[in-house]
Amino acid sequence: MPVLAVPPVPLVPAVPAVPAVPAVPAVPAVPAVPAVPAVPAVPAVPAVPAVPATEAATAAAIEPRFSWPLSPVPQVTRPFEPPATPYGPGHRGVDLAAAPGQQVLAAGTGVVVFAGQVAGQGVVSVDHDGGLRTTYEPVSPTVPIGTQVFIGQPIATVNPGHPGCTVAACLHWGVRRGEEYLNPLALIRTESVIRLKPWTPP
């Protein structure tokens, strides 16, 4: 039996090479963010120093304007002792040696705003310019409320029996501005005598 010749198998064409993928360019590095400078610490606010009571009293000083409420000039038997707190202990005025029945004089020009009894003691209070009020006790008032008085004018007479008084009678004299008590002695004006040289015509 004759052998059939097998035709040759055609060659498969070669697959073209896949072109190379171009390399992805490198991403540039992100520059480093500069460090935020530290915020300097805020210096502590210094505490406001407390004003001592004596300095406060000095700051509250006003121009002297009053005269002595007794004549002649009396002896001070107890001085002014300002309290450390509004309701603390102290002596909110001065005690002046007097004689029972001695006239009490207005320390300054003003208006009588009280003339009567307080806790069994006679009291006179006078309002003055600048928000000042003077108080006199223990006394027997001789002027009614609403009276305009002038410096040196009699407004009462002294009664004996003031607590702590070491003489026959004492006048307690106080001065305050609003709720602040002031030293009455610091508000007494001193008189000065001015002498003028005789004028000689040219």
In the predicted model, what is the mean pLDDT of residues 60-70?
83
Burial class (CB in 10 A: 0-12, 13-18, 19+), 199: exposed
* pLDDT tens digits along 151-191: 999 999 999 988 889 899 999 999 999 989 999 999 999 86
Report residue 141: phi and psi, to 5°: -60, 145
Q: How far apart are CA 182 and CA 134, in angstroms?
A: 10
* pLDDT tens digits along 68-92: 999 999 999 999 987 776 666 667 8
Q: Which residues of 44-61 are buried (b: 16+ CB within 10 A; e: fewer)?
A: eeeeeeeeeeeeebeeee
For residue 72, what pLDDT is reported? 96
3-state secondary structure of 115: strand
Residue 58 has pLDDT above 50, yes or no: no
Tell me the domains of the chain and their CATH numbers.
68-187 (2.70.70.10)
User: Which residues are CB-contacts of 174 (< 8 A; sequence separation ≥ 6)?
Assistant: 92, 93, 94, 134, 135, 181, 184
Global model pTM greater than 0.75 = no
Decide: 98 and 129 in contact? Cβ < 8 Å: no
For residue 71, what pLDDT is reported? 96
For residue 194, what pLDDT is reported? 39
For residue 55, what pLDDT is reported? 36
Query: Please, what is the end-to-end C-alpha distance for the chain in angstroms?
Result: 183
For residue 26, what pLDDT is reported? 62
134: part of which helix (H) or strand (E)?
Answer: strand 132-137
- 127, β-bridge pairs: 111, 133
Decide: 145 and 129 in contact? Cβ < 8 Å: no
User: Which residues are CB-contacts of 143 (< 8 A; sequence separation ≥ 6)?
Assistant: 112, 115, 124, 149, 155, 156
For residue 95, what pLDDT is reported? 94
For residue 136, what pLDDT is reported? 98
* pLDDT tens digits along 93-131: 999 999 999 999 999 999 999 999 999 999 999 999 999
